[in-house]
Amino acid sequence: MSSQSPNPLSAPIHILSLLKDLHKKSLDQEAQLAKRDNGKVFSDKIISDLEDQHQEQQQKHPNDSTSHSSTAAEFDALMLDKFIALDEDKCQFMYQLITAMGATNVVEAGTSFGVSTIYLALGVGRVKSATGKGGVVIATEKEKAKADVARGYWAQCGKVVEDEIDLRVGDLLETLRVDLPREIDLLLLDIWSALALPTLKTVLPRLRPGAVVLTDNTISSAKGYADLLAFLRNPENGFQNMTLPFTNGFEMSVYLPKS
Ligand SMILES: C[S@@+](CC[C@H](N)C(=O)[O-])C[C@H]1O[C@@H](n2cnc3c(N)ncnc32)[C@H](O)[C@@H]1O
């Protein structure tokens, strides 16, 4: 997206500069990862490729639990200090969408160091103060070390961000089973692709009609997301879909169940 595009975010200057810094760190890390792979691919694409390799290993050796756990552990170890933050323009779009929808109950699948969460919290906080509605951003991160770092960045932002977030540490397929808001407005799927469909199915009973599901990298990770995309695009499941033309694709699916 053009660098001339205005930034819709309304936030104190210290948050805006923290976000600039965090996005830069994330992109620098991804460029380093790309170099590690002989500079073959750049940015988010490298993560998709690593994920695909990880998934292919699992499919090739479905009964080999040792190979599963070692490739999964290797992948997780590589990602432990990585931001893999959602691109800045996609984050700004999410903020814009939250304010347009009046969304106050949001679930984020995959929080990492909490960059996209800052945008979600600012959007939800803005809608809450404009409307008096209640709501929360439910963030999810499997790695405690990453969750601690995320909390540190949110503390730097201050209460305007911290107070909006309920961070659940552990496997999201467990942590999202309990205490969800009765009606969820928005679900961000920014998670390893194999987890995307199980996550959607966990949250689905609470999605309100008109809720939006955003999924990152649906072009570059189309292979990994095959099951999710087939589910979303099956008319029986009630989603109206569009791949937004951000880098590597950003799927916007509106939940319009028939009954
Ligand atoms: C792409 S990153 C999220 C980036 C984040 N949304 C941002 O923009 O800063 C995906 C994160 O999901 C986490 N994750 C992977 N499996 C998980 C699981 N089963 N439960 C919760 N989090 C998980 C990973 O540790 C990783 O930090």
- Which range of residues forms the domain containing residue 230? 88-255
3-class DSSP state of 70: helix
Show the tokens assigned to 199. 């996550």
Amino acid in position 72: A
- Atom nearest to 113 CA in ligand 1: 9
Ligand 1 centroid to Cα of residue 255, in Å, is 23
Domain count across the chain: 2
Query: How many Cα atoms are found within 13 Å in the side-chain-facing hemisphere of 140?
Result: 25
Q: Are residues 44 and 106 in the same domain?
A: no
Q: Are residues 163 and 236 in the same domain?
A: yes
Query: How many Cα atoms are found within 13 Å in the side-chain-facing hemisphere of 17?
Result: 4
Distance of CA 238 to the CA centre of its chain: 22
Q: Which residues of 40-62 are buried (b: 16+ CB within 10 A; e: fewer)?
A: ebebbbbbbbbbeebbebeeeee
List ligand 1's pocket residues with C-beta within 6 A.
79, 83-86, 110-113, 115-116, 140-143, 146, 171-172, 190-192, 195
Q: Which residues of 197-210 are buried (b: 16+ CB within 10 A; e: fewer)?
A: bebbebbbebbeee
Q: Which of 52, 79, 106 is the last residue of a domain?
A: 79
Q: Which of 56, 79, 102 is the last residue of a domain?
A: 79
CATH assignment of the domain containing 192:
3.40.50.150
3-class DSSP state of 245: coil
State the Rg of the chain over Cα.
Answer: 18
Can you give the pLDDT of all 259 residues of the chain as single tens digits?
555 789 999 999 999 999 999 999 999 999 988 776 554 443 455 566 666 666 666 666 666 656 566 777 888 888 999 999 999 999 999 999 999 999 999 999 999 999 999 999 999 999 999 999 999 999 999 999 999 999 999 999 999 999 999 999 999 999 999 999 999 999 999 999 999 999 999 999 999 999 999 999 999 999 999 999 999 999 999 999 999 999 999 999 999 999 7
Q: Are residues 122 and 205 in the same domain?
A: yes
